[in-house]
Chain A
Amino acid sequence: MWYLLFVIGLAASTAGLDRKETRMKYIATNQELYLEKLEKELHELEDEFEHLSEDVDDLSIKHLKARVHNLEEEHEHGCKKDEVSCGGDVPQCISKLFFCDGHVDCKNGNDEHDDHCSEAPAHVGSSYTGIATWKSCEALRPHHAVVTITASLRREFFSAAVYVRGILSFEEETKQHAVRTYPLRGFYNFGQRQLLLGPDRGTTPIYAVKCDFNLDDDDNADCYIVNPASREVCAHFQATRY
């Protein structure tokens, strides 16, 4: 009899222990489920957030600022013809001949700043291309035009410009890929961030090229194919580097 009671008591106590454990598990499972629910809600929120338009990339902002700046300069006649703005908070204009010559001329030192003195546009192999739209000189449909730098030289004693050679080529006709090329020579000017190329020595003066790196980076330029003497614009192309 006592023995039986003992067995029942033991069974009851183990059953009680089991129940306690099950309860604990039950609570833990619920907590996990609750966490999962929170996670799901968070994902939904994230999904919703991702559907909103993304932040604007830095390059677009840079370009936009440059375009506004170009319009302001144009409107306010900021600097004289051969002068360039130092930028920064206090406006100052200095000669295009003083940029990146190793001598600080701007009060804020911007004329010797790395941003302004990047040699990239004059690097050998730099190639700028875009669709050229002709408005005179040639009766061509809009086709690709390419300006490639083939040689460059920067003199230590006068480093405000890099003397370069280059090639202008443009498609005459897309079906047969007829391409015309013109050897050019000229220079890249750090102050104006302008690439000026005229006909190479001993060649017939037919075309010259003027590229303005006016979007505040080295990869985009506003290029014109012009008459070398009068600088009358023959064609225009928005060039990108590749």
Chain B
Amino acid sequence: LKMKPLVFLLLAGVVAYAVANDDDHGCDALTRLKVKSQWTRAYSHGHEREDFAKAVWRAIFAQVPDAKSLFKRVNVDDLDSPEFVAHMLRVLAGLDIVISILDQEDTLKEELDHLEKQHEGRHIPDNYFDAFKTALLHVLPAQLGRCWDRDAWDHCFDFIAKGIKGH
């Protein structure tokens, strides 16, 4: 008899977890904290930040060279040009904002809505987002060198990309 409330609690817990899981695709509260701290290490600062950004963008364009057509305005033809370096850093700064508020539900929603509006008219195919994710998921471990959780990033990137894509 004593067991019953415990079993019920356990069940409720499992159901709650399953629901939460369904909502954030495995990017749960603890996973978000993990991603936050690993991002802080990888994002680094100063010149190293620029190098990290460059490595990510090179990996993106190596996968989907056609995506360059979206960035004509920011001098994409020369990846080392100040205009494009500024752009690369701007995009990572946006990602930085999102990641740093992953644990503040309301603010996060506002930011993702804002980013969704920014990207709306640009008609970005889903596979460009996939290329961004693949690039990030390969450069991150090389940048971090240790202690990184691929699954955590996998789940949380999907969650963020979904927010920006709006679907």
Question: CB within 8 Å of B: which residues of A?
Answer: 80, 82-83, 94-98, 101, 103, 155-158, 160-161, 163, 187, 189, 196, 198, 201, 208, 228-229, 231
Contacts and interface: CB of A to CB of B under 8 A. Distances in A.
A92 to B, nearest CB: 13
A198 B47 CA distance: 27
Contacts of A228: 146-147
A95 B146 contact: no
Contacts of A196: 145-146
Interface in B47-68: 47-48, 51-52, 54-55, 58-60, 62-63
Residue of B44, B51, B135, B139 most packed against chain A (CB within 10 A): B51
11 contacts: A95-B51, A97-B55, A98-B54, A101-B58, A157-B60, A158-B58, A160-B55, A196-B146, A198-B147, A208-B146, A228-B146
Name the interface size band of chain B.
20 to 34
Q: Nearest 7 pairs between A and B by C-beta?
A: A95-B51, A157-B62, A97-B55, A158-B59, A161-B142, A158-B138, A157-B63
A208 B148 CA distance: 13
A231 B147 CA distance: 10
Contacts of A163: 141
Nearest to B150: A201
A101 B142 CA distance: 13
Contact of A198 (B59, B63, B146): B146
A95 B145 contact: no
A60 B39 CA distance: 43
B66 to A, nearest CB: 14
Main SS class of interface, B: helix
A160 B142 contact: yes
Nearest to B51: A95
Residue of A97, A101, A161, A201 most packed against chain B (CB within 10 A): A97
Nearest to B148: A198
Given A82-B48, A97-B52, A187 B142 contact: yes
Contact of A156 (B47, B60, B62, B143): B62
B134 interface: yes
A23 B138 CA distance: 91
A196 B146 CA distance: 8
A94 B135 CA distance: 20
Contacts of A201: 150
B42 to A, nearest CB: 10
Contacts of B58: 101, 103, 158
Contacts of B62: 156-158
A97 B143 contact: yes
Interface string B135-164: 100110111011100100000000000000
Contacts of B60: 157
Nearest to B79: A103
A161 B60 CA distance: 16
A95 B50 CA distance: 10
Given A157-B134, A189-B145, 16 more contacts: A80-B48, A82-B44, A82-B51, A83-B48, A97-B51, A97-B55, A97-B139, A97-B143, A98-B51, A156-B62, A157-B63, A157-B135, A161-B141, A189-B142, A228-B146, A229-B146
Contacts of A189: 142, 145
A96 B42 CA distance: 13
A231 B138 CA distance: 22
